[in-house]
Each structure stands twice: as structure tokens, then as C-alpha cells.
Structure 1
Amino acid sequence: MDQLENLVFSCEKYVLDFKFDAGTSRGVLRRKETFFLKASSKYHPNIVGIGEAGPLPKLSIDDLPDFEGQLVSLCKQLTQLNFSIYKDEIFDFVKQYIPESFPSIRFAFETALLDLTNGGKRLVFDSSFVKERRAIPINGLIWMGDRNFMLEQIDKKLREGYDCIKMKIGAIDFDQECDLLEYIRSKYDKGKITLRVDANGAFSAEEALGKLDRLEKFDLHSIEQPIKQGQVEAMGRLCGESPVPIALDEELIGIHTLEDRQSLLKAIKPQYIILKPTLVGGFRSCDEWIRLAESMGIGWWMTSALESNIGLNAISQYTATLPNDMPQGLGTGQLYLNNIDSPLLIESGTLVYDQNIAWGV
């Protein structure tokens, strides 16, 4: 479908239930609200593109009490418009009509419209990932919890064949977290297993460098967001002094203009940035961050942000079009008891798309 006229938008809320208490330094998650955005043409109502808007509680700038009302209002406003849209114009359309203060809604509209132009088959970006089952390497995520719970997760991920493990830290005793990292390294050196950690801003600016010095002996690939976002000068000093490479994550949230993004990266000079379309405003926004990062010699990778398989599918298909062979953060599809059935499968530490498996309703 190259041209869409008289589009109709609607949305519905869906509550995802975690299989376990998912611990982060910001608290424990048991359920997550998300919203499915549907786009169709007035003249072809049976062809439906679907996107997902799911702000992260206490983190997304559009995690607002009236989020659902704002989304419903945008669906009504845009349904009332009379327009034609071509595939190449989708990103311009979203930028024009969806405020930058709603990054997850921008992501949802981009996804739904791209899906619709491709026939409403959950094909968002065409690549060998979808057509030829090409695998995307991913990291195995270790959630916070007590020591035994984290140890069980580590052993499970290693048995499943992951060669990149990402461990969330900052919620339990730091000594215990170091013991867990020591456990992994006692079994596998950095040539066998790549280790990443994510502090989600849990360290204070004063203590961060000392903790990073302690973490150095575990041969870590990187640490995500060691201190809370917004401390640009302190983060810049850390990136210059840390023995462990630093990746910015939350730091990118709410930075909208090209000039502000460029200024942030120049001021902090991180080793990596991590891109989550739900948090930074969709695929065009990610494109801009990637161009800036590469122009400054900064590495990057993609990560999902607890979306259902609808959002994860879109991010995975986008990732597959990018020239980056690093393990990506796309292993969240198995977190929920009631996720949408999809062709996405995890095999030996990689994500694949199996066209023989049908999408659920």
C-alpha cells in the first residue's frame, strides 16, 4: 500500500503481567500498562497497522496521569484530517503532528503507519532478519533480586548459550553484586563471555568512581548510566576518568533538538550511547542520534524498553537494517505471562524471526 487516504486511528490499553518481580534501582515491576495504536484506511478497513505506546513508569517524559486521554485525543484529531501519505513521508507526518513531548506515541505512530504501508502484516522494516531468518545477537538480561534469584538467572542464561550477559546492579548490596560478577568471571573470561552492567543511575556522583575502580577487575564491556541523568559535568568527568567504558541511557531522554543532542555528547564524551525508540521518540530520532554518535567516534546499540512483542518486533526489524554487529538489548520478549504471540524466538543468545509462526491476535 503506497498511498493511504482518510486514515482512521484508534487505541486500546493492554496490561502486561511479568512472570516474576522485575527489580530495578527504581523499584520492582509486576505489571506494565501499554497501548496498542491501530491505523487503517477508511477504504481498506481490514488492513490494519499496529504500533505500541508504552511509557516506562517513573522514567519516560510522557509517563503522565492523562497519557491515555492524550493518546485518545491525538487519534481523534488525526482521524478527522483528510490527507494522503506516502511511505517516505511517514516520519515527516509524525514529526508534524505528534508533539516531541510524547516520544512513545511518536514511536507508536511511526510503527503503525510503516506496518500499514506494508499491508498490515507486522512488517515494519524489510530485511534478511524477517525474510531469511538472519539472527541478531542479543545480551542476556539479569534482573535485580536477592543473590540466589540473580544466581539462578545467571546460570540459566549461560546454559542457554548467551555469550553476552547484562546484569542490573545498584539495588542489593554492592559487595554481593561484585561476588556475582566474580562468579561469572570464575567460569568464563572476557574471551568467552562479554559482561555488561546497568546501574540505572543508582550511584551517587561522589561514590561512582570508587565503585567503577572496583568493577574494573571484572573486565566489563561497559556500564550503563552509573549516575542519574542531568549531571552533565559529573558524567563528563566520569567518562574521562572511569576504567570501565560508560554508556549513556537515561541521559538521552528529553533531549530533542539536534543542537542539544550534539552539545550533550560533546560535553560528556561517552564511550557508548544506548537507544530506546520508546524513550527517545522513535526511529527518525534514533537515526539522528546514531549519525551524531558515529561522527564523534561514539559506539551505540539498540535496546527495547519493556514493550510487548509488538514494539519489540518493530525495534528488532529496525535494528536489523543497521550496520551494527554488537549484541543488542532485545531479549525482553520472554518477560510476560500474557505477551502477544509472535514469530520472535530466542535461540542460543540470538533473536530470530520465524515466518512459519503466526502472529497472535
Structure 2
Amino acid sequence: MSESVKLQFSFIKRTLQFRFDAGTSRGVLKTRDVYWIKVQDPKNPEVIGWGEAAPLVKLSPDYREDFEEILAQSLAKLSQESWEMEENSLLEKVKSLVSFDLPSLRFGVEMALLDYFNGGKKRFFSNPFFDKNQPIPINGLIWMGDRSFMLEQIDQKLNEGFDCIKMKIGAIDFEQELELLGYIRERYSKKQIVLRVDANGAFSPENVMEKLSRLAQLDIHSIEQPIPAGDWKAMHELCKKTPLPIALDEELIGVQKKSELLDTIQPQHIILKPTLLGGFLETKEWIRLAEERNIGWWMTSALESNIGLNAISQLASSFNTQIPQGLGTGKLYHNNLDSPLEIKSGKIHYNAAKPWENPA
């Protein structure tokens, strides 16, 4: 039987400032609030575990005006508990104590406890990314904006050595978006550059097939969430008839009947965002169910700071995945936490020679 300890939970808020207006089909982001969760044993204060709760505007089930109040109340309750120092026990206890409706909070608490359990080194479990500095291939993300801004980003990502580009579409004129994708395809074949697009539910069931057909002519690898989430029947029909593979994203948020969703829709891929899905345990369950059904998957950050990005990178690495993940968001902010995370030649690396900035 492993030891049980009483732990103290607290948090620090930071408002991250975007380096540019980050355009999505749901609007433009300029700032982003994140909450860094701190865990320590008052009798052994030098070991600190850090996690991150970062509800995403208009998307997270726990993006709400009273989130900070709920966070404070939840952490006060968790500080009354005794914790058995064993990985599965910690995760199962978090699952029982933190509501499924508070996914980013659950993920932040999981993160902080596993970091504490592993000695407060920002390592959560065994994984080649942290343990062996094994880099993870990632996609280069092209944000929405006017044509010249998007073209500038495309050139920059290609020059930086990315061989997988993901472009957000659905905000500017569709013809212009096709032209920008065509700009890449004229220069690089699908063997040289993998092209993904993310519509964030911007297309309607009436016009989506025509748009998918035109995108398919550009050898697109996959499209994320072509129509709004929630209509499983329409999405199933789309996945059955689509000329290019479909990846579910927003469709997974807030869903507890995972098997039912996958069996009903039968998608080609799913996108996993632990902050929106409820953390390590929930994400692992989605992966298990997807792999049983031969459904592809990859992991994506939800604009967390480097604390959350590090945790998601380690989770992806623990599955030894070879396909590009969506983990390139660390340079988005002026005031992100300095960290060992580095992006070079289309991959994210953990450079242990670089120290972590103290969140406090």
C-alpha cells in the first residue's frame, strides 16, 4: 500500500497576450486567460507540481463567468482530501472528485498531481519526448486573416521546414481559400507536403459536399469538423460519402457516450484536445476506442500556455505516434512561460538544457 498525503492546492492566473489577432471561424482572439494550479505538501514545500486549467472561449464546457470562483472552491475541497501516491489511484480519484462538466479543471488537477508525484520536474509519466528528447512531428498552423496575412504565414511555415500544413478555413471567401491551398499544391506534391484544413463547423449540410469535392482536388489529407457539431446523423452521412477523410473535433466535446458517437458517425479520424475532453484519462479512453475501430487520431493543443502544451506533448509521445500532431502553439504569446519547449524543422523538442521559468 502506498503512502497517503494531504496536499495543498492553489492557483495563479495569467492573461496571455497573442502576438497577432488570432482569427477563427468563431471570432478573433487577442488575449487568453489561463490558471496555473499549484500542488505541494506543506511539510515538504520544495517539491511543487504544476498543472494548467485553461477553458477555451466559446468552446470549453467550463468556459463560464464564474470559473475562477468554481476553481477556488474546487481546490479548497481537494486540499481536504488524502491522496494515495500511485499514478492510477491519483487519476481515478480526480475523476471521481472533479465533474466531467469541468474538463479543463480536471486536466489541470491531473497534471499538477502527476507532476508532484514524479518529483516536480514537469514530467508526468514515462515518455520519449521528455525522457529521451525525442522530437514530435507537428503541423504548421495557418491562422485565418486576410489573404496577404495567410500567404505570409504559408511562406513562413514552408521556409521553416514544415512538411505538414494545417489551414483554418471558413472565414474568408472560399475561392480565396482554395487559391491559397492551390499556391502550396502548385509547388509541393502531397508526398512533399501534407495539407490539412480545419473548418470549425463553418459549412452547412446543404453546401458541404460541393466544397469537399473541390478541396479533394487539391489532395487534402483531411478536413476537421466540416459542419457544426451535434447532428450525428448528418455527420455520419457525410463521413460515408465524403471524397476526403473527415476528422471530428468539436463533435467530441462534452460527449460521455464515446462508443455510441464513434459507432454512429464512423469518422475517418478524431482530433483529441485534452483540455476540452477532460485530461489524460478521458483522452486515453478516446484513443483506445478509436484504435479498436481503426479510426485515426492525433492530438492538438487548445491554445494552452507551455505548461499545458508540455503535458499534451508528453501524452502524445507516450503513444509513440509518428504522424504530425497539432502542438505548435507555444510561440503564440508575448508572455508565455519560458520553457524547454522548442520548435525546429517542423518538430517540437524538449531541450532539457533550457530551464523552466517559475510560474509564480
> What TM-score do the two structures reach when normalised by structure 2?
0.97
Please give the alpha-carbon distance, in whole angstroms, between the structure 2 residues aligned to 1:314 and 1:183.
35
Please state if 1:148 is matched with 2:148: yes
Q: Tell me the alpha carbon deviations over residues 246-301 of structure 1, each in whole angstroms, 9 at most, x when there is no partner.
A: 00000000012xxx111111111100000000000101101110111111110001
Please give the alpha-carbon distance, in whole angstroms, between the structure 2 residues aligned to 1:281 and 1:310.
16
Give the stretch that moved more between structures: 56-65 or 149-158. 56-65
The AA in structure 1 aligned to 2:217 is K
Please give the alpha-carbon distance, in whole angstroms, between the structure 1 residues aligned to 2:357 and 2:26.
32
Please state if 1:89 is matched with 2:89: yes
Change (3 A) 1:131 1:240: same
Please state if 1:332 is matched with 2:335: no
The AA in structure 1 aligned to 2:140 is G
Q: Gapped runs of 5+ residues in structure 1?
A: none
- Provide the aligned C-alpha RMSD in A: 1.0
Q: Name 1:29's counterpart in structure 2.
A: 29
The AA in structure 1 aligned to 2:281 is R
The AA in structure 1 aligned to 2:184 is I
1:1-361 equivalent positions in 2, closer than 5 A: 3=3, 5-256=5-256, 260-361=257-358
Please give the alpha-carbon distance, in whole angstroms, between the structure 2 residues aligned to 1:103 and 1:128.
26
In 2, are the aligned partners of 1:3 and 1:117 still within 8 Å (CA)?
no
Please give the alpha-carbon distance, in whole angstroms, between the structure 1 residues aligned to 2:186 and 2:321.
29
Please give the alpha-carbon distance, in whole angstroms, between the structure 2 residues aligned to 1:53 and 1:129.
22
Please give the alpha-carbon distance, in whole angstroms, between the structure 2 residues aligned to 1:82 and 1:248.
38
Secondary structure in 1 aligned to 2:39?
A: strand
Q: Tell me the alpha carbon deviations over residues 160-186 of structure 1, each in whole angstroms, 9 at most, x when there is no partner.
A: 000000000000000000000000001
How far the C-alpha of 1:90 sits from its partner, in A, is 1.3
Please give the alpha-carbon distance, in whole angstroms, between the structure 2 residues aligned to 1:241 and 1:227.
14
Secondary structure in 2 aligned to 1:334?
A: coil
Q: Gapped runs of 5+ residues in structure 2?
A: none
In 1, are the aligned partners of 2:84 and 2:90 still within 8 Å (CA)?
no
Secondary structure in 2 aligned to 1:23?
A: strand
Please give the alpha-carbon distance, in whole angstroms, between the structure 2 residues aligned to 1:25 and 1:87.
39
Q: Tell me the alpha carbon deviations over residues 322-354 of structure 1, each in whole angstroms, 9 at most, x when there is no partner.
A: 032110000000100000000000010001101
Secondary structure in 1 aligned to 2:215?
A: helix
Give runs of ≥4 in structure 1 deviating > 3 Å: 82-85
Please give the alpha-carbon distance, in whole angstroms, between the structure 1 residues aligned to 2:80 and 2:335.
34
In 2, are the aligned partners of 1:125 and 1:314 still within 8 Å (CA)?
no
Indicate the percent of aligned positions where both proteins have the same amino acid: 55
Please give the alpha-carbon distance, in whole angstroms, between the structure 2 residues aligned to 1:359 and 1:85.
25
Secondary structure in 1 aligned to 2:244?
A: coil
In 1, are the aligned partners of 2:129 and 2:349 still within 8 Å (CA)?
yes
In 1, are the aligned partners of 2:4 and 2:82 still within 8 Å (CA)?
no
> What TM-score do the two structures reach when normalised by structure 1?
0.97
In 1, are the aligned partners of 2:85 and 2:117 still within 8 Å (CA)?
no
Secondary structure in 2 aligned to 1:270?
A: coil
The AA in structure 1 aligned to 2:246 is I
Secondary structure in 2 aligned to 1:323?
A: coil
In 2, are the aligned partners of 1:18 and 1:31 still within 8 Å (CA)?
yes
Secondary structure in 1 aligned to 2:355?
A: coil
The AA in structure 2 aligned to 1:268 is I
The AA in structure 2 aligned to 1:201 is G
The AA in structure 1 aligned to 2:291 is E
**For this pair of structures, how many residues does the alignment match?**
357
Please give the alpha-carbon distance, in whole angstroms, between the structure 1 residues aligned to 2:31 and 2:327.
19
